[in-house]
Amino acid sequence: MSKELTKNLFCIVIRGNIQVWVEEEKALVLKNELSTNSERKFVNFEDKTFNVVDIVGIFSARDMEEKRRRDNGEWKCKFDNWHDKFEKCDVKCALKN
């Protein structure tokens, strides 16, 4: 079994639910560019041009996965486990951790 390092991915969410996935380093460049120039109307990033008012946010892969699960009706209990819609959390759930 090989061990490969993966890069942390971040998702730039644009109005209209457009998702642009980039590596963490590139997301940090964009965050910095957006925060240092508040007068800017458009930003060029990679091979794309964004209207800054259309950028909803820059989110981690974990944030996006949790949003997808919530959108699908799942919920997270106090033990940090995911459950299907209407599924009850019980003692077995606490033992999973």
The number of domains in the chain is 1
Percentage, residues of the chain above pLDDT 70 = 88
The pLDDT assigned to 45 comes to 86
Domain-embedded: residue 87: no
Domain-embedded: residue 84: no
Q: What is the pLDDT of residues 2-47, one digit of tens each?
A: 555 567 999 999 999 899 999 999 999 999 888 887 787 898 888 8
Domain-embedded: residue 83: no
- Partnered with residue 45 across adjacent β-strands are 48
- pTM of this structure: 0.76
Contacts of 50 (CB under 8 A, 6+ apart): 12, 14, 42, 43
**Whether the predicted pLDDT of 80 surpasses 70:** yes
Domain-embedded: residue 86: no
Domain-embedded: residue 63: yes
Domain-embedded: residue 89: no
Pick from 7-11, 39-43, 59-63, 69-73: least confident: 39-43
Which residues span the domain enclosing 58?
Answer: 9-72
Nearest to 29 by CA among 44, 47, 13, 49: 44
